[in-house]
Amino acid sequence: MKLPMTLGGLMVAAGLFATSAHADKLDDIISSGTLRCAVVLDFPPMGSRDESNNPVGFDVDYCNDLAAALGVDAEIVETPFPERIPALMSGRVDVGVASTSDTLERAKTVGFSVPYFAFENVVTSNEESGINSFDDMKGKTVGATAGTFEAIALQAQVEEWGEGEFRPYQSQADVFLALSQGQIDATVSTSTVAQANVKSGNFPGISVVGKAPFDIDYVALFTNREEYGFINYLNLFVSQQVRTGRYEELYAKWVGGELPDLSAAGVTR
Amino acid sequence: MFDTALSAHDLLFLAKGAGVTLLVTAISVAFGTILGILCGVFRFQVGPYWASPVTFILDIFRSIPLLIQLVLANAFLGMVLKLRMSGFTIACGVLTLYTAAYCAEIVRGSIGSVPGTTRRAGRSLGMTWFQDMRYIVLPLATRVALPSWIGLALGVMKDSALVYVVQVTELLKSTQILITRLQEPLFLLMICGAFYFLISFPIARFGGYLEKRWSND
Amino acid sequence: MFNYTFQWNQALARLPQMLDGALVTMQIAILSMAIGVLLAILLTGCRLSGIRVLQGFAVTWVEIARNTPALFQIYMAHFGVASFGIHFSPFTSLLIGITFNNAGYLAENFRGALKAISDTQSRAGRSLGMTPVQAFRYIVLPQMLRIAYLPMTNQMVWAILMTSLGVTVGMNSDLYGVTQDLNALTFRTFELFAIAAVIFYVITKVIGLGARLLATRLFRY
């Protein structure tokens, strides 16, 4: 009788000890041996699937690099754009490597690292629509991916124009499908995605026609906003990726062309 | 139209999605039915007044879109309670309660369809409540309930298409993933629809057949 | 109690927008139900017509509507038919998808209801000199609608719940779409969707109550 009691006491004490020594997310990831990244996989070249439906892309490689730096295995969790933050908040993933714009509104809920990539937004139109610039979209039916930086900006623009229609689709793929089918006349998306989709040849009759006058869309890694230790690690990791030339290497591999500057002029972050 | 880039590998990918659909359905229907029978018997036994809390809770699952139920359960368990649960578990949990809510209605209705005189006759022969339920109500009520239950099970299979929202890659989601890569929406959607149809149609027909056969007497 | 800070104020401030969305949701449900009932009556007529082609058409419609997911039907109404160059707005696609589904299920309900009406009645009508269509219209139809009334109310609730699937075809003015848009802006997922759930609950209850009141007016004899 006495032995089980002692054992029980020991276990309770051990339990108390384990909870009192506060393990933060960084510790949790290292001890669990797996880093779970939220990645959007219909967003080429940042994330997509190859012929055997395995995840590939810039964000996938970035997640693998981060896992390697932490000395753990990477697990890619596919999340559609609108589900990125819920996936993090519900503990299904540890970090988002999902081309997420670091808006102030979102920073009220999640914690962002420094930018790890920067997008420019461009207008892609269906050739039959006769749209040749951003302003030509006035009064037309346009669409973008629900919950993204460019969708929020474009919707506001359509409301400001006071004519035309805005349609948010659930995924980038649905947007380009709708565009090539002629359901929408034009879309605003990040230049990398637009180029990748036009080049893929999957969508006949669409072309990139010009830049969208939105701010440069800096995207950052994100995790729970109170995990300062982990955010600090992420910041250093982003910096190291640039310093070691890995960022340039990945950019050349997946995107190509002129390397975007990750720092805004005149301010530190 | 049949000139497609769909490879054997992609078909396997679709089959995997179909497997997930069937697995989620099987788990939810199994647990949901047990829970539904318990709730249904309870509701019939204690009367509408005392059963009202159970009735109210079950009614919620029938009055709110499944999509919202899934999003809310996911947000509540994960964001508020900080429980680490897989999307699969949440999907099965929500669908189980969803099934139970409808199943309880079916069970209650079918017990009510057993004539009171028949049951009283059984009780007056000295049967206990359990014997009455087991030998009189169960066989008679099952005849009424089974066709509707088959309909419910098929309904849950079709509704399981919504679990994509908690990151479960079931059949429709797998189809969308392939559409992204192959850009053959119509063809792939037809395959997906045909799969649901081929599972659902024969079973629905079988349910209709049972209903017809059993309603003769 | 919870390691989570609820920010109901932020979500409640958006209530007017969500109520606007609820109106659109009800609009779609009511429209889809009205058209669905008419189509279901037509389909029932097709089934009774004895003409092979019409019967085949009606059976195909009903079986596809009943044996594939509603989400699939709506997705098909937007992206599927566009492969033939037919374009519908998200609103129309959603309306078509739900109406297609409603008509299929209602036609099946009507068929069940018809079994309860003995055909001696329509034969009696015919012997009074009514045409088959007149006999259907004045003798069978009123009884059929009355017997199928309860399943029709259930289908109405279904129609309300199905509007939430519109987001998959780019719909953002209905209750679910509005909620999702707000969620993308603020990420207060739990609060926003909890409010949406309450609104949906109230709508379905109001419809149930309304249907019962309507029934006492329609069927008093």
Q: What is the CATH number of the domain that holds C55?
A: 1.10.3720.10
Top-level class of domain B23-168: mainly alpha
> What pLDDT score does C2 carry?
56
On whether any CB of chain C is under 8 Å from the CB of A179, the answer is no
Query: If you measure CA to CA, which chain B residue comes closest to A77?
Result: B167
Q: Say if C1 falls within a structural domain.
A: no
C53 Cβ contact partners less than 8 Å away, ≥ 6 residues apart:
none
Nearest to C197 among B72, B80, B172 (CB): B72
3-state helix, strand, coil in chain A (%, to 5): 45, 25, 30
Residue B179: pLDDT over 90: no
Nearest to A89 among B78, B176, B179 (CB): B78
Contact B75 A86 (CB under 8 A): yes
Q: Are residues A73 and A204 in the same domain?
A: no
HSE of B163, CA atoms in CB hemisphere, 13 A: 31
Contacts of A166 in chain C (CB under 8 A): 172
Q: Say if A269 falls within a structural domain.
A: no
Q: Are residues A97 and A42 in the same domain?
A: yes
Question: How high is the ipTM of this complex?
Answer: 0.86
Query: If you measure CA to CA, which chain C residue comes closest to B205?
Result: C63
Query: How many independent structural domains does chain C possess?
Result: 1
Segment C142-160 shows an average pLDDT of: 91
CATH number at residue A63: 3.40.190.10
Nearest to C63 among B71, B79, B201 (CB): B201
- Say whether A201 sits in a helix, a strand or coil: coil
Q: C-side interface with A, Cβ within 8 Å?
A: 78-79, 82-83, 85, 87, 89-90, 167-172, 177, 180-181, 183-189
Q: Enter the tokens of residue C160.
A: 């309300």
Residue A12: pLDDT over 60: no
Torsion region of A99: left, alpha or beta (phi above 0 gives left; psi -120 to 50 gives alpha): left
Q: Say if C214 falls within a structural domain.
A: yes
Q: Say if C22 falls within a structural domain.
A: yes
Rounded Cα gap, residues C189 and C4, in angstroms: 12
Residue A14: pLDDT over 50: no
- Which residue in the block uniquely carries the two structure tokens 């900080």? B82
> What pLDDT score does C132 carry?
86
Nearest CA of chain A to the CA of C179: how many Å? Answer: 11
Q: Say if A86 falls within a structural domain.
A: yes
Contact C72 B189 (CB under 8 A): yes
Domain that holds residue C208: 8-218
Q: Which chains touch A (3 or more CB pairs under 8 A)?
A: B, C
Q: Say if C3 falls within a structural domain.
A: no
A165-208 pLDDT, tens digit each: 999 998 888 899 899 888 999 999 988 888 888 887 778 888 89
A136-146 pLDDT, tens digit each: 999 999 999 88
pLDDT band at B35; cut points 50, 70, 90: very high
Contacts of A196 in chain B (CB under 8 A): none
Q: Are residues A56 and A73 in the same domain?
A: yes
Residue A56: pLDDT over 70: yes
Contacts of B75 in chain C (CB under 8 A): 189-190, 193
Domain that holds residue A145: 121-211
% of chain B with per-residue pLDDT over 70: 96
Nearest CA of chain C to the CA of B78: how many Å? Answer: 10
pTM (predicted TM-score): 0.83
Query: How many independent structural domains does chain A possess?
Result: 2
Query: If you measure CA to CA, which chain C residue comes closest to B21?
Result: C69
Query: If you measure CA to CA, which chain C residue comes closest to B66?
Result: C161
Q: Say if C213 falls within a structural domain.
A: yes
Nearest to A183 among C87, C172, C189 (CB): C87
Q: Which amino acid is at C146?
A: R
- Which residue in the block uniquely carries the two structure tokens 């509540």? B76
Contact A82 C184 (CB under 8 A): yes
3-state helix, strand, coil in chain C (%, to 5): 80, 0, 20
